[in-house]
């Protein structure tokens, strides 16, 4: 079974530029998550999709971050314009949807973003 | 805010020794999960313990959960150099995980 795919793996941009990250979850996984992990900290959930609907985006800075999951499969996360504090690793994860069952999340390798 | 705070922040041991990491949390959970992250890579799920369970084993891993104290521990027995990584506990509720800051484990050969 193929894992969660993410691209690019690394990205360097200047502040105020825009950037987009792509994620392809494990086939058949209904739930998709985007996390931001700042150096030395644990992942922080930015947005959670179930199929192509948003379940939780309470911690997404909506003035500059946007995400979509068209057709309930692939997803893109965009930052526009980027700030220095957006430098982090952006992790995508997916999980299957099983009623009344705890969710194990499967993570991609992440995209390391450096904003100069 | 992050919940599921790990203790210690960093741990250095010799190969063959046991490593114990602790996790505390503040609010109720459905389950508690432990993940491992090798340097510069994604997280890998290690073990999940439900709120009605007290102890669980998986290979060299042993997890305990004390819901009255809102704490969990992860024990890695007979550690290996390949166990060097950051370990995160994550509080699971409503199909959502909230991660702590992690424990950096270094196993010296």
Average pLDDT by stretches of 10, chain A with 116 residues: 91 97 94 94 94 91 94 94 97 81 85 97
| pLDDT for res B1 | 43
Radius of gyration of chain B (CA): 13
Regions of chain B with pLDDT less than 70: 1-4, 40
Burial of A85 (0-12, 13-18, 19+ CB in 10 A): exposed
Mutate which: A33, A43, A92, A99, vs B, most B CBs within 10 A: A43
Within an 8 Å CB–CB cutoff, is residue A108 touching chain B?
Answer: yes
| Minimum Cα–Cα distance from A59: chain B residue | B1
Within an 8 Å CB–CB cutoff, is residue B46 touching chain A?
Answer: no
Within an 8 Å CB–CB cutoff, is residue A105 touching chain B?
Answer: yes
| Minimum Cα–Cα distance from A96: chain B residue | B95
| pLDDT for res B3 | 54
Rounded (10°) CA dihedral A10, A13, A16, A22: -30
DSSP SS3 for A40:
coil
Rounded CA gap, B77 and B48, in Å? 18
CB spacing of B48 vs A102 below 8 angstroms: yes
Q: How far is CA A77 from CA A49, A92, A116, B90, in A?
A: 12, 10, 19, 23
Distance (Å) from the alpha carbon of B7 to chain A's nearest alpha carbon: 13
| pLDDT for res A101 | 61
| pLDDT for res A81 | 96
Cβ neighbours of residue A106 under 8 Å, at least 6 residues apart? Answer: A3, A4, A26, A29, A93, A94, A95, B45
| pLDDT for res B40 | 67
Chain B neighbors of A109, CB-CB under 8 A: 41-42
| pLDDT for res A1 | 63
């Amino acid at each position: 079974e193929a894992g969660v795919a993410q691209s690019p793996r690394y990205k360097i941009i200047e502040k105020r530029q825009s950037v987009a990250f792509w994620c392809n979850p494990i086939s058949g996984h209904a739930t998709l998550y985007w996390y931001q992990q700042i150096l030395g900290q644990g992942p922080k959930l930015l947005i959670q999709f179930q199929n192509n609907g948003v379940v939780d985006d309470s911690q997404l800075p909506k003035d500059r971050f946007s995400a979509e999951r068209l057709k309930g499969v692939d997803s893109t996360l965009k930052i526009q314009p980027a700030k220095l504090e957006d430098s982090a690793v952006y992790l995508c994860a997916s999980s299957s949807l099983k009623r009344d069952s705890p969710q194990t999340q499967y993570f991609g390798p992440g995209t390391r973003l450096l904003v100069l | 805010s992050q919940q599921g705070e790990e203790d210690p922040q960093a741990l250095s041991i010799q190969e063959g020794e046991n490593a114990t990491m602790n996790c505390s949390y503040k609010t109720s959970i459905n389950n508690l999960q432990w993940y491992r992250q090798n340097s510069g890579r994604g997280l890998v799920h290690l073990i999940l313990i439900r709120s009605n369970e007290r102890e669980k084993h998986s290979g060299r891993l042993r997890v305990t959960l004390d819901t009255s104290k809102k704490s969990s521990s992860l024990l890695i027995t007979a550690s290996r150099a390949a166990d060097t990584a950051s370990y995160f506990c994550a509080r699971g509720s409503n199909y959502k995980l909230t991660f702590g800051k992690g424990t950096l484990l270094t196993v010296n050969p």
